Amino acid sequence: MFRFVLRHFNLYVLTLLVLCIFSFWLAYLFPGDPLVNLTGLTLNDPADYQAMAQKYHMDSGILVQFWHYLVLLWDGDWGFSFSSGLPLYQEIFDSLPATVELSTYALLLSLLIGIPLGFLAGLRHHRTTDNALLAASVVGYSTPVFWLALLMILLFSLQLGWFPLSGRISLLFDVPHDTGFILVDIWLSDMPNKGAAMINAVQHMVMPVLSITIVTTAIVLRLTRRAVVEVMPKEYVQAAYARGLSKHQVILRHVVRNAMLPILPLLAMQSTILLTNAMIVEVIYSWPGIGNWLIQAIYQRDYPAIRAGMLAVSTLVVSLTIFIDLLARIIDPTRERGARAKI
Amino acid sequence: MTFSASGNRCGGLPGLALLLLLAGCMGNPDDLPDGVVYCSEGNPNGFNPQLDASGTTSDASSHQIYDRLMDFDPQSGRVVPALASSWLVSEDGLTYTFQLRKGVAFHQTPYFTPTRSFNADDVLFSINRWRQADHPYHNVSGGTYPYFTSLGLNNIITDVRRVNGYRVELTLSRPDSSFLANLATDFSVILSAEYANQLAQQGEKSRLDTFPIGTGPFKFVDYKKDRFIRYAKHPEYWRHDRAPQNLIYDITTSSSLRVAKLMTGECDAMALPAHSELPTIEQREYLVLDEKPGLNVGFWAFNTARPPFDNPKVRQALALAIDKNTLLEAVYFGSAVNAKSLLPPSSWAYQEGLTDTSYNPVLARRLLEENGIEPGFSMNIWAMPVERAYNPNARKMAELIQGYLRQVGIEANIVSYEWSTFRQRLKQGLHDSVLIGWSADNGDPDNFYRPLLSCNAINSGTNRAMWCSQQYDALINDALQHTDPDQRRAIYWQANALLKQEMPLVPLAHAFRYQAYHRSLQGLVINPFGAIRFGEVEKD
């Protein structure tokens, strides 16, 4: 087991190193002075320039530069944004929670809907219910998320006027930034109209969350269905029936546990798709998350922001993937190495 | 991480799914805090309009945060008292004496608490900051004052003197018939000298322009780039007490998204509806669309500092190569009039009988060949990335012009950047030609002729043609010496003839100004002289 954890740890460190090298290299690839691309400061004063060049060890060899770049990254000194002039570390950690929040609610909702439906389909394998659910999931799975989001805006915002189409909350509510999770922030704040703010925030959340949920639910449903179908013909299920347990008891005691065990890590593996979808949806619903922030940075040619944003997002994705993979192997050591979801 | 974190957090959200489904029916708009949300079109460059001539910056600060010595009456265009309750002009037109209003309170915010009300020191500070190059605040936040330097105001004023606490005397080097109007523009705002002193002691001078203090109806609360600007009511505003409690600028760069937000009620008013979207707004009964002929001009300027555009013949050829009427229809959808000169028809100095450049590609081609421009010559057209009343879709216009230029054997590339980058590079003169325009800040003709094409305006970054002519400068300077409108008009007409010959820019259109808002909003008046005003607005 120790060797196993060590191997994952090595993989993690190496991947992060490659990402750091790439982000460092970007500063040289982007047009302009690499020092300006690293710091995000326009250094007109020669004295300032010298000081910064010294801080980043620009006159030393490339390896020394890279080492000091790593040290600064570790210290949270990620440079400044060209366009806002604010520290990138702060900007990124202001917008990242919004994305995580959106993805979390979407994932929860997909699990709540997808797992029961998946069981239903799996238990009624090759019957009408199964086919209908399977067909619906194909539609959900193959719908492009940006198109779905636009369609929902057209229908629910512009035609029916049920939901607002942009942002996290009406800007008239001044929610103090604390954790970055809007519902938690409202809860913790001492605003006079907490209830109204909460309802308003939830209203803003419905459409973005649903847009992501529809796609993710389809994946969850198909994964669950596949697992149930695989568990049902197993000997221990047949044995349970033979012992005289009712269908209800068999499902609860044997099928649920045995089907869930292998699929939970696989479900969590979908977090990459989830995050990607969340970033697309953010742009459409003007959700102030990292996806929206990165798009703005690219549009404004904010090179330091693109560099740091890319590093932050890919680090998050790599961490998630490796952590979950490790967790999956610890929970279920019998699982084959490199097993991936079949949907 | 998402997964495990959600596992911990979901304890507090068991009914989330249900809540999500119900929320649609539960919303009650009455629960929203009192305030007005305005969907604006972009990020301001700071909160001091002295430093920036862009409409976005003055929209965000001029009439919300600040006051001026005088204002324009939006109906009549006349100069009316504001912070100066009255003024006196000497016989020779060289000395202006202003009597200041008493008991006008500055904003009290978490970052500044005023100990005194507005007085002569604030006027002295505000004017001297842009006037005197050795003023301690002159070089703060970039130190460029495009409006004042493009008009040469820093050279006209020779002295600003404090007579007593509430009386200020300004002396000019020569009479200027547009002087009062210049002090009433969006840019001539009054800052707090006390706040500036406090910041100087703390060594944080640049905060003066990013955390502003003024006497206007709203005080600054918060600004998040690309997202919002938040203002709160100034409870001791000197004019009245009926301003909305909150004012929010919801920064939305896409015009279709602004219209969508206006329709869903997320915004109460919106900036610059695109001309193609006007019918959508008109169809809806709960929305109001106001229209007024605008004091603006959209044009195509050539960088006369770069060959071959330094040759007037080449510029004339290019002007002949485009069909202005088609451009007008395709881009403005009939909501603009053809521009023959810099001045719109509503100006008193407008020249009725001026002939327009006609569309003549054959002649254009011949002129180009005579001046050594071979077929296959390549140039760039810079199209501004934002919508403005004077040019609602520069990109589309650039594409059309590209087509016309191809017919005369010129390959045009369209260039665009994010707005602040765009203007920065434009100021450096990196363009061949640019599609941009100008909205006047006051009704005076000088406000078109001087900032757009005078030599001084090259440095201040409003002369997009980089064109400098001593003859032209002499003409427009001469015009200001006369107070008789007929004499001034005659001089401006001479300038028109000169421009026709030199063609540093091709005037394209004078657009109508539109403003869209919810019917529940009362008192939002189109200000033909620049920035939007929310102080007088009331929401039912």
Cβ(B62)–Cβ(B72) below 8 Å: no
Paired tokens of B157:
């004023």
Cα A63 to its chain centre, rounded Å, is 33
Q: Give the per-residue pLDDT at B503.
A: 93
Sole residue written with tokens 């954890």: A5
Q: Give the per-residue pLDDT at A255.
A: 84
Chain B: nearest CA to A283, how far in angstroms?
A: 12
Superfamily of domain A88-331: MetI-like (1.10.3720.10)
> Which one of B1, B3, B25, B262 makes the best mutation probe of the A interface by having the most chain A beta carbons within 10 Å?
B3
User: How much is the average pLDDT of A179-206?
Assistant: 89
CA distance A133 to A225: 10
Longest dimension (CA), chain B: 81
Cβ(B445)–Cβ(B488) below 8 Å: yes
Cβ neighbours of A316 in B, within 8 Å:
1
Query: Is B1 in Cβ contact with A319 (below 8 Å)?
Result: yes
Q: Which of B190, B126, B193, B130 is nearest to B156 (CA)?
A: B130
CA distance A220 to A228: 12
Cβ neighbours of A172 in B, within 8 Å:
32-35, 37, 246, 248
Cα four-point dihedral sign B477, B478, B481, B486 = negative
Rounded to 5 degrees, φ, ψ at B233 are: -60, 140
> Which one of A100, A186, A275, A286 makes the best mutation probe of the B interface by having the most chain B beta carbons within 10 Å?
A286
Minimal-distance CA residue of chain B relative to A184: B12
Cα four-point dihedral sign B137, B139, B141, B143 = positive
CA distance B49 to A229: 68
pLDDT band at residue A191 under the 50/70/90 scheme:
confident
Q: How many residues does chain A have?
A: 343
Q: Which of B302, B343, B295 is nearest to B322 (CA)?
A: B302
Chain A contact present for B18, CB below 8 A:
no
Query: Is A83 in Cβ contact with B418 (below 8 Å)?
Result: yes
Cβ neighbours of A275 in B, within 8 Å:
2
CA distance A265 to A245: 29
Cβ neighbours of B5 in A, within 8 Å:
100, 104
Q: Give the per-residue pLDDT at B392.
A: 85
Return the half-sphere exposure (C-beta side, CA atoms, 13 A cut-off) of residue B426.
28
Cβ(A95)–Cβ(A282) below 8 Å: no
Sole residue written with tokens 């001034």: B488
Q: Nearest 5°: CA angle at B446, between B445 and B448?
A: 70
Q: Give the per-residue pLDDT at B11.
A: 35
* A219 DSSP 8-state letter: H
Compute, in degrees rounded to 10, the torsion defined by CA atoms B474, B475, B480, B481: 70
Write the CA distances from A158 to B261, B294, B520, integer angstroms: 9, 31, 19
User: How much is the average pLDDT of A52-70?
Assistant: 85
Return the half-sphere exposure (C-beta side, CA atoms, 13 A cut-off) of residue A333.
5
Chain A: nearest CA to B106, how far in angstroms?
A: 23
Q: Give the per-residue pLDDT at A38.
A: 84
Compute, in degrees rounded to 10, the torsion defined by CA atoms A175, A176, A181, A186: -50
Report pLDDT digits (tens) over A17-45: 999 999 998 888 888 888 888 888 877 78
Q: Where in chain A is the domain with CATH 1.10.3720.10?
A: 88-331
Paired tokens of B214:
């003024």
User: How much is the average pLDDT of A140-164?
Assistant: 91
Write the CA distances from B56 to B44, B136, B206, B227, B435, integer angstroms: 5, 27, 20, 14, 18
Supply the ipTM of this predicted assembly: 0.80
CA distance B208 to B192: 9
Q: Give the per-residue pLDDT at A45.
A: 80
Report pLDDT digits (tens) over A245-256: 888 888 888 888
Cβ(A102)–Cβ(A287) below 8 Å: yes
pLDDT for A65 beyond 70: yes
Q: Which of B532, B527, B512 is nearest to B345 (CA)?
A: B512
Cβ neighbours of B250 in A, within 8 Å:
167, 171
Q: DSSP letters along B189-228, please? A: B---HHHHHHHHHHT-TTHHHHS---SSSEEEEEEETTTE
Q: Give the per-residue pLDDT at B211.
A: 95
Q: Give the per-residue pLDDT at B21.
A: 45
A79: left (phi over 0), alpha (psi -120 to 50) or beta: left
CA distance A24 to B362: 55
Query: Is A157 in Cβ contact with B264 (below 8 Å)?
Result: yes
Longest dimension (CA), chain A: 86
> Which one of A102, A104, A207, A322 makes the best mutation probe of the B interface by having the most chain B beta carbons within 10 Å?
A104
Burial of B332 (0-12, 13-18, 19+ CB in 10 A): buried
B211: left (phi over 0), alpha (psi -120 to 50) or beta: beta
* B12 DSSP 8-state letter: G
CA distance B98 to B175: 17
Q: What is the pTM of this model?
A: 0.79
Q: Which of B508, B510, B507 is nearest to B335 (CA)?
A: B510
Minimal-distance CA residue of chain B relative to A86: B225
Minimal-distance CA residue of chain B relative to A100: B2
pLDDT band at residue A326 under the 50/70/90 scheme:
confident
Q: Which of B440, B435, B472 is nearest to B453 (CA)?
A: B472
Angle between helices A88-123 and B2-9 (to 10 degrees): 80
Pairing outcome for strands B433-439 and B377-383? parallel
Query: Is A319 in Cβ contact with B26 (below 8 Å)?
Result: no
Q: Give the per-residue pLDDT at B10.
A: 33
Q: Which of A100, A185, A150 is nearest to A283 (CA)?
A: A150
User: How much is the average pLDDT of A80-89?
Assistant: 85
Low pLDDT (below 70) residues in chain B: 1-30
Rounded to 5 degrees, φ, ψ at B463 are: -90, 90
Q: How many Cβ atoms from other residues are within 10 Å of residue B479's Cβ?
A: 23
Sole residue written with tokens 């950690």: A93
User: Which positions ≥6 away from B514 have C-beta within 8 Å?
Assistant: B272, B273, B278, B289, B290, B291, B335, B389
Share of chain A above pLDDT 90, in %: 27
Report pLDDT digits (tens) over A270-312: 878 888 899 999 999 999 999 989 988 888 888 899 999 999 9
Q: Give the per-residue pLDDT at B1.
A: 33
Cβ(B315)–Cβ(B302) below 8 Å: yes
